[in-house]
Structure 1
């Protein structure tokens, strides 16, 4: 295709070469445009020989094993059953034994974790019950301690009152008893 260059020179700038368009071809119908390409494909595809079967015993069909020993013939097509080939390759590549072992181990670990989880939940419930019981016992103990402290304070007041009365009524005997049995030092 010959291309023509036109020069355009605006004032004050450098010249730039712009390629021109080639003249358009007149419109041709669809049947006229690619008639030569379709004429090459007008022959039907080659027929498969009867010795070729689609259910071959190995990775390749009988035709491919026939062509494997001889030199490749460009006119004959080797027939490979892709479904059988991919099936065989997949069965060779996929080994279910480790997957089965891993699934069994995973199921075993899941069972062990579930048992430990249930055991943990039971222990938590038992700990909550013990904590509630301990809190109840502590509350009862605090109540008993307050009751004992109140009783001791009442008893102490009575003893002090009795000591004061005894000191007033019997001063000599009280002094002798106080010297003999001194009062304990309060902390």
Structure 2
């Protein structure tokens, strides 16, 4: 057993070089690659390596991120970083949550998914409120099975109709607290500075770089 496993809570450092981004979502790959830019990392998308998308059977965001990262690291022989994230709507008891991507269907139709979310909130009546939050879990795995995981969250409110064509997914219907524009209207650099993914990434950077 290596020292990395023998030391309880030990954090393994990530050396500069190739890193698989274990996602087939171009928007996520772009955001993660931009965040990795300053650290001497050469990001490679799972899609470019023809890696399969695993079935997300975890019951938490971190479990799904770890599952995806470990499979990509095992198949590629390289360290791999995976993201599992979603929109949690308070009026919908946390849905779509872990199933955020699945609500968009096989064609990744997020216009449909946003409409489904809004219809569900409206059906709850005027007292349900529009509070929501994004969660992002990041898992970094090595081919030997070692994995580190980190989670970030940002709270805000839902708006309708969706606003802006920046970002991806549910971004156009989410306005973070203390802001008056949606993630869909926000300059990507501004979003990268304060999003759920950025908060999780800040924790990862502090630990492994």
Fold-level match, TM-score > 0.5?
no
TM-score when normalising by structure 1? 0.13
Which structure's residues are more often strand, by fraction?
2
TM-score when normalising by structure 2? 0.12
Larger Rg: 1
Return the structure number with greater relative CO, CA threshold 8 A, min gap 6.
2
